[in-house]
Structures are given as structure tokens and as C-alpha cells.
A and B are shown apart, each in its own frame.
Chain A
């Protein structure tokens, strides 16, 4: 492991493990230094046509080798081979924030890349889910330095990582419980296979793919744990056909894993609430008008459900991160993104009462949700009552939290008399004496100036456009 520290242009904390190179920021621009040690592999990636093929298929992030006819300056010239400027992904997200479909598509993208690489004499040396990001609505490999020259007879070095990062969590989500995606938050290098094997139901042993890639794999790890790899191999080679067979077996196993967002709390929310069409349409018009007015380029839609208002925001020209606590709503949202080929909307699973923390080495490898902000505007529609009443967060703290997300806020206030709020109050004592429209305006007034406000037609709800003080 080699960590490169440069006083003026420090390496980004997510990219320190690989000696092949590292990411760094200079004057607000992201660059990737390719080290001399990786020169041969990099040259092969570019010259074999693999780079062009993968970029064309949208499977690999593109990069420039020069700007205005000039090669980019390295951060650490002593070990540098080349410095490139990768295309920017608007928002970095992590596998524990993805819906089932997002993780599955990221897995299939990884396998598809590996197959194309093998055909052109290269192989993926990492199969980390963190190397995949959603770019233009589809999973894309962002680590250009993930390839190595394929050597005939060699196995896939990233096989175990693929099983831990993708197959194990997907199988657990599909066969046991969708919420087990959160194990990825605990295990930064993917779900340990012995744990996955223990948690998976008995019937998965009849699924050939899961039985071999997870159950048998876990037992073999345990059985040969104290045997050196070279000893275990004892000169055995793996043909390229066999390697392709392995990748295809993984593809078939992943494809067969399904999870349907049915019977959940939110899936039928829009049908079962007290909205009239007029109120709903009026809300859409207000949100669209206000976002256009402030020319928001980046938006977080918090508590977005399946993303109806996120799409209003996209229409105004914004890139929108559309988050919800319910994996089913996020799955529905992602399926819409795929169906409509939407490029500027990223659905994510996020619990606002416990948003993604910063994780990993030195607590700096993966950024917390808030570290990945701020954004121009935050949408908090039909959300405040959940935070204030279901989760006992005092209104001033709700306002404070939103103010850390970005400068502008579009927020909805739903009074206690509303049937949705009544539903929440039915199961708890009404200790929320401050939860009134006046109390709401006072609490938010500490952090924000109200720029616009409007009653939502045909309802008791109010919408506000606020700017941070």
C-alpha cells in the first residue's frame, strides 16, 4: 500500500490504496495521476481499443490527456507517467445508498466490463462497488486504473471482491430482506461470505449460482484459510475459456436475482393520501416556478418517494438527487429513470434521521451525505411532519439541518388537522404544542428568510420558498 501525500495538491482520500495512481484536486479541477508503475497497463488500455469501446458503451468514464494542447501537470512528478482529467460525475453515491436495481445494474456493468476487457487482453484487478458511479443515469466505472494485462492461465483476482461487494448483498436483499443492503455500511470491503452464507435461507442452496459462488465459496475460504495461495494453486492454470465461463456464471446468477417493490408503505402513497388532483398540480406548478426563478442547478429532493417532484426539478434544468428512506419507493424511482432514460436524476436510499456517515480509513474514505453538498436548493415536501412528529425532532433543529444542505429551501407545512398528520398522531401522545404554522414560521425564521409562500389550492397545506440567512 502506498500513500502519496503532497502538501499543495493532496491525494483524495478515496483513492489512496492503489499504487497505480491517485486522484487530486488542483484549482478546483479533478485530475488523476497515472504512476510510472502503471504505464504499461495504461498504454494497453488506450492502445488496445478497450478504452474507446467501454467509453462508447457508457461503461467507463472518459478522460482527457491534455487541455488546450498542453499535458496536465502531475502532482507528484517523480513517480508520474501521465496526468489525466476525468469527466466529472455530478454526485458520488455509495452502494449502501443504492436500491436493489441500482446495485444489480452496477454488478452487471462490472461483469460486462470484465468480459470486454478479457476479449482485448486485459482483466479487472478490482471489482469494487465503489468504483461504479451513476453517470447519466447508468452505472459507469470511474476508476480508469482498474485494468491489468491479462496473463494466460491466471484466475480472476477480483472474484472474491465481486462476490463480497455485489453478489452477497444482492442475494441477501433478494432472498432474506431488502434492508440487508445496509450491511455494506458496516463492511467497507463487502459482506463477508461466511456471514452471507449463514444469513441466507436454506433454499438458496438449491440455486446453483448462490450455492457455489457464496455457500461453497465460504466453506472453501474457511477450509483453506491457512493454506498459502501458491500452495493451493500448485501450478494449476485457468484457461481463458474457463475464466469467461466464470464471468458468465456470475452474470447468470446476478440476472436471476429479483426483488419486487410490492406491498410497502409508500408504493401506493399517491393513491391513498388526501390530495386532490388540483392540490397536487398546484404544488407542482409552485415548485417548478420557484426552482426556475432561483435557477437551481443542483437539487436534493429529500423524502422524494418515487420522485414526482424530483422530475419537476429536472424539468427546470437541475441535476437532482432524489432520496427516500423506503427502498421500494427508491426502486420504483430507479425503474422510471431506466424506462425514461433520464440522465439527471439519481434515486438513493437515505434515512434522514441517520444520514450516511463518513466511513473507512481515517473516517475519510467515504464522505458523509452532508459532506457531498451543499446544493443550490433542497426540496422538503410532505417531510417536516415525519421528522417533527414521528421522530421528535424539534422544528428549529429541522430547519438547522436543512440549512446545512444548501442556500435555498422549498418546504411544505402540513397542519395537525391534515389526515396524514392525524394518522401519525393516532399512535402517540400529542406533545407537539409548537407544531403550528406560527411555530413553524418562527422556527424556520431563525435560519431562513421567507421569499415566497402560498397556500396549496384545495388543501390545508402551505408551501414556502426560503433563503438561508
Chain B
């Protein structure tokens, strides 16, 4: 597919919106998981802390750190 006059941007936008909505929803569920569980009458669950900065770094070695 060679795009000369056609723009692949629309498809990229729509698919991004779709994935992001699902992913955003699952994050929201994850963040409120303990609340949901409580609502369902399950035992209290430890809330996971939001430490994505450290999480991001685990892939990449940081010499001198």
C-alpha cells in the first residue's frame, strides 16, 4: 500500500482511541480493584502503589545510578 494522496492518520487515530479506551478502562479497574472487591463483599486487598517511574527503569540499565 503506497499512500500518495491518502492519509493513514485516520485509521491510526481510530485504532488508538479504541485501544486507549479499553486500556484506560482496565487501568481504572486495576486502580480501584480493592474498592470493587469490597463492594462485592470480598476481603480487603492491599492497594498497589503507583510507582511507574521505578517500573519503567527496570528495563533500562542506568550506568552510574
State which of A165-173, A260-268, A278-286, A337-345 sits at the interface with chain B: A337-345
Contacts of B65 in A (CB 8 A): 58
Instruction: Say yes or no: A225-B6 contact (C-beta < 8 A), given A212-B19, A241-B28.
Output: yes
Question: A241: which of B17, B24, B63 is its contact (CB, 8 Å)?
Answer: B24
Q: Which B residue sits closest to A139, measured CB to CB?
A: B60
Contact A246 B23 (CB under 8 A): yes
**Is there an interface contact between B56 and A112, defined as CB atoms closer than 8 Å?**
yes
Question: Would you call B12 and A116 a contact (CB within 8 A)?
Answer: no
- CB <8 Å contact, A159 and B12: yes
Residues of A within 8 A of B56 (CB): 108, 111-112, 115-116, 251
> Given A137-B61, A159-B16, A249-B19, are A220 and B11 neighbors across the interface (CB < 8 Å)?
yes
Mark the stretch among A72-80, A230-238, A423-431, A437-445 that contacts chain B.
Answer: A230-238
| B15 and A229 form a contact (CB under 8 A) | no
Across-interface contacts of B11 in A (CB, < 8 A): 217, 219-225, 232
- Docked-complex contact B7 and A343, CB < 8 angstroms: no
The number of residues on chain A lying at the interface, defined by a beta carbon within 8 Å of a beta carbon of chain B, is: 58
Tell me if B41 counts as interface (CB < 8 A to partner A): no
Q: A221 touching B26 by the CB < 8 A rule?
A: no
Q: Would you call A228 and B7 a contact (CB within 8 A)?
A: yes
What bracket does the count of chain B residues touching chain A fall in?
A: 35 or more
The majority secondary structure among interface residues of chain B is helix
Given contacts A160-B8, A221-B12, contact A238 B17 (CB under 8 A): yes
Question: Are A227 and B63 in touch, CB under 8 angstroms?
Answer: no
Interface residues of A in 188-230 (CB under 8 A from B): 192-194, 212-213, 216-217, 219-229
A343 CB to closest chain B CB, in angstroms?
Answer: 5
User: Interface 1/0s, chain B 1-34, versus A by CB < 8 A?
Assistant: 1010011111111111111111111111000000
The answer, yes or no, to whether A239 is at the interface (CB within 8 Å) is yes
From the candidates A104, A136, A246, name the one contacting B19 in the complex (CB within 8 A). Answer: A246
CB neighbors of B among A265-323 (8 A): none
Asked whether B7 lies within 8 Å of A105 as measured between CB atoms, the reply is no
B59 CB to closest chain A CB (Å) equals 4
| Chain B residue, CB-CB nearest to A111 | B56
Verify if A180 is at the interface (C-beta below 8 Å from B).
no
A138 & B62 in contact (Cβ 8 Å cutoff) = yes
A226 to B6, CA, bound (A): 5
A458 within 8 Å of B (CB atoms): no
**A242 proximal to B (CB < 8 A):** yes
In the bound complex, residues from chain A placing their C-beta under 8 Å from that of B18 are 212, 216
CB neighbours (8 Å) of B60 from chain A are: 105, 108-109, 112, 138-139
A155 at the interface (CB under 8 A from B): yes
CB distance from A52 to the nearest CB of B (A): 14
Q: Does B48 contact A (CB under 8 A)?
A: no
> What are the 10 tightest A-B residue pairs by CB atom distance, in nearest-first order?
A245-B23, A242-B24, A220-B11, A221-B11, A245-B24, A232-B10, A112-B56, A242-B20, A341-B63, A246-B20
A-B contact pairs, 23 of them (CB 8 A): A108-B59, A112-B60, A115-B52, A138-B63, A139-B60, A155-B17, A159-B12, A160-B8, A212-B19, A216-B18, A225-B1, A225-B7, A228-B10, A229-B7, A229-B13, A232-B13, A238-B21, A241-B24, A242-B21, A245-B22, A245-B24, A246-B19, A341-B64
Interface residue ranges, A against B (CB under 8 Å): 57-58, 104-105, 108-109, 111-112, 115-116, 136-139, 155-156, 159-160, 163, 192-194, 212-213, 216-217, 219-229, 231-233, 236, 238-239, 241-246, 248-249, 251, 255, 338-339, 341-343
B residues whose Cβ falls under 8 Å from a Cβ of A: 1, 3, 6-28, 52-53, 56-57, 59-65
| Supplied contacts A155-B13, A249-B20, 13 more A-B pairs, CB within 8 Å | A57-B62, A58-B63, A155-B17, A212-B18, A213-B19, A217-B11, A219-B11, A220-B15, A229-B9, A231-B10, A245-B24, A245-B25, A339-B61
